[in-house]
Structure 1
Amino acid sequence: MVAPAHAERVRHVVEPAVADVGLVLEDVTVRKAGSRSVVEVVLDVTEDDEGGLDLDRVAEATRAVSDALDAADVIVGEYTLDVMSPGVDRPLTQRRHFTHAVGRTVTVTLSDGGSLAGRLTEVDRSGPDDSIVVVPVTPGLKGRKPVVGEPVRVSLSEVRHAHVEVDLSGIGPVDDVDQDEIAGHDAAAGKES
C-alpha cells in the first residue's frame, strides 16, 4: 500500500485536470502492484450535469489525467492508470449524488436510527437546509401490488447513510405464457415469428 500522503499529492495534480473536462474527482487511490504503482481515479459528473459519464467522457478525462500526471512527475517509475465511474453501489453522501439518483429506489438510514425505503422523487435546494423527498414503497406480497405511501421530506443533515437499490426486476427470462402472448400478437399483426 502506498502512503495516503502520496495519494493526496496525486489528487492535487489530478483534480484541476478533471475539472477542466467538466467532471468531479470523487476519489484517488494509489497502491503498489509488484514493481508498478496503480493509480485509480474515480470520476463523477457535476450536480447540474444532465448527461451521464459515458465512455467518451471517461476517455477524455483519462487523457487529461495522464497528461497531468506525466507533467507533474508525481509517480515514481511505471504506473497503471485506471479511470472509472463510482458505480451503482457507492453510498449517497453528497447532494449531487442524490440529485443524480432522483427517480431511483433508495434506502436511507437516518441519524435517529430509523430507516426509509422508496422512490427518491426530489432534491430540494431552496431552503436553508437541503432536503430530499422519498415516496415510501412497500413491496406487495404474493403477486399483490406494492403499497405506496405519502411522500416523506428528510433534511440531508438527518441522513446517516443512503444508497441506491439496484432494480433487477426487468432482467431475466420471459416465461412461456408471455412468449405465447407475444407470438400470438405477432401472428395477429401479420408478422412472421
Structure 2
Amino acid sequence: MSVESQSGRARRDRGAPGASSRDEAGQRLTGLLTPIVGAVGFDLEELRVEPAGRRRLVRLVVDADEGVNLDDVAKISQAVSAALDESDVMGSAPYVLEVTSPGVDRPLTEPRHWRRAVGRLVRAPLGAGGEIEGRVVAADDEAVVIDVEGDQRRLGLDELGRGRMQVEFRRDGTGDED
C-alpha cells in the first residue's frame, strides 16, 4: 500500500554535492523524519532517496504494531511533506514522496518485527546451523516462541537469523467451508 505526493520542493541546499554530503544529508533526513513519523504513532523502517528524472523519489517504509492503512499513510504523507517543505534538507530539486508499508518479504530482524509476526508462519536460519519453520506464538525483546508442528520452541533473538514470513493463501481452519 502506498500513497504518493508530488507537492514537494524544498529550499535550496547550501552544501556541495558529493559522497560525504550525501551521507550527511541522509542522516539529516533520517533525523528529521524519524520523530515526525514516530509522533503520529509509527516506526520508520526504511528511508531511501533515489533519482527519478529531474526529481528525486523519497520512499518511506513505515509500520506499527496495529499495521498501516490508507488513512495512516495519508496522515504520515501530509506530516512528512510539510516537514520537508519547511526544511532545507532536500535542497532545491523537486521530489516525489512515497509512503508505503512493508511487504511480507521484509526480513524479521528487530524485536518489533517478530512481535508483529505473532500468528504468522515464518522461516528463519538458526545461528547453530539449519533453519526453523513454524508459527510465531509470542515474541518479546529477547526471544521468540515458535510452534513447530505442536512443539513450542523458545529461541533467543541472537539464535535466529533474518526471518521471513511465509505466504499463506489459506490457513487451516480459517477458510470458507464451501
Equivalent residue for 1:18, pick from 37, 46, 51: 37
Indicate the residue corresponding to 1:157 in structure 2: 158
Q: Is residue 63 from structure 1 mapped to residue 64 from structure 2 by the alignment? A: no
- How many percent of aligned residue pairs carry the same amino acid? 40
Where do residues 32-47 of structure 1 align in structure 2 (5 Å cutoff)? 32-45=51-64
| Distance (Å, rounded) in 1 between the aligned partners of 2:151 and 2:61 | 36
- Asked if 2 retains the 8 angstrom alpha-carbon contact of 1:110 and 1:161, the reply is no
Indicate the residue corresponding to 2:101 in structure 1: 85
Q: What SS is found at the alignment partner of 2:137?
A: strand
| Distance (Å, rounded) in 1 between the aligned partners of 2:164 and 2:98 | 24
Equivalent residue for 1:107, pick from 109, 123, 143: 123
Q: Give TM-score scaled by structure 1 length.
A: 0.73
Equivalent residue for 1:131, pick from 139, 143, 149: 143
Q: What SS is found at the alignment partner of 1:67?
A: helix
- Asked if 2 retains the 8 angstrom alpha-carbon contact of 1:6 and 1:30, the reply is no
- Following superposition, the deviation at residue 19 of structure 1 comes to 1.2
Indicate the residue corresponding to 2:90 in structure 1: 75
- Following superposition, the deviation at residue 163 of structure 1 comes to 0.9
Indicate the residue corresponding to 1:185 in structure 2: none
Q: What SS is found at the alignment partner of 1:161?
A: coil
Indicate the residue corresponding to 1:141 in structure 2: none
Q: What SS is found at the alignment partner of 1:169?
A: coil
Q: Which has the larger radius of gyration?
A: 1
- CA deviations over 1:76-113 (Å, ceiling 9, x no partner): 21100001111111000001101110000000111112
* Letter paired with 1:37: R
Indicate the residue corresponding to 1:94 in structure 2: 110
* Letter paired with 2:131: S
- Asked if 1 retains the 8 angstrom alpha-carbon contact of 2:111 and 2:140, the reply is no
Where do residues 171-186 of structure 1 align in structure 2 (5 Å cutoff)? none
| Distance (Å, rounded) in 1 between the aligned partners of 2:23 and 2:123 | 31
Q: Which consecutive residues of structure 1, in runs of 5 or more, have no partner in the other structure?
A: 137-147, 171-177, 183-193
Looking at both structures, which has the greater relative contact order when contacts are Cα pairs under 8 Å and sequence separation is at least 6?
2
| Distance (Å, rounded) in 2 between the aligned partners of 1:133 and 1:169 | 22
Pick closer, same or farther for the CA change 1:132–1:71 going to 2, 3 Å: same
